[in-house]
Amino acid sequence: MVGIIMGSQSDLAIMQQAADFLKSLEIPYELTVVSAHRTPERMFDYAKSAKNRGLKVIIAGAGGAAHLPGMVASCTTMPVIGVPILSSNSIDGWDSVLSILQMPSGIPVATVALNGAANAGILAAKMIGVSDESVSQKLEVYQNSLKDKVLGTVDEIKNYHPNHYD
């Protein structure tokens, strides 16, 4: 249901976060390397064939010039989520963030934070959850777990520090 692509294998440690989240919700995904600059034909084929392969959302991670998410978005009507990645040749990640964020009118790319592949996985699940009730229910359980985690830390801190707010 979700395609996860990245410009090179060096991006895998970040993009794995999206795969891990999708796996935790039992949402099918595929993950591969598709470089906009080194394998442009592969990129075009991937984007153009994605819908026929059953994908609903594409998550594309890229560092440096970060053209992959935008180029993929220009080749498909499905939503593309861009993950800017702080790469070894990056300018503090700003080059990647701005390359993905500042798309021209007509070719939108949803953009998450620098190295924010976990949020990309969550956003992809939310997009799918709009029309898939089982995914929506799993997301609700996930969000409740976040609330429970925070409330647990409130109680833990209260044991050691005064706090009269409930």
- State the binding site for substrate: 8, 11, 38
Q: To the nearest 10°, the Cα dihedral for 59, 62, 68, 74?
A: 50
**Token code pair at residue 69:** 């998410």
Residues flagged as binding site: 8, 11, 38
**Token code pair at residue 150:** 């925070």
Taking residue 102's Cβ as centre, other Cβ atoms within 10 Å add up to 10
Q: What are phi and psi of 60, to 5 degrees?
A: -125, 120
**Cα angle, residue 80 at apex, residues 78 and 84 outer, rounded to 5°:** 175
**Token code pair at residue 109:** 């790319």
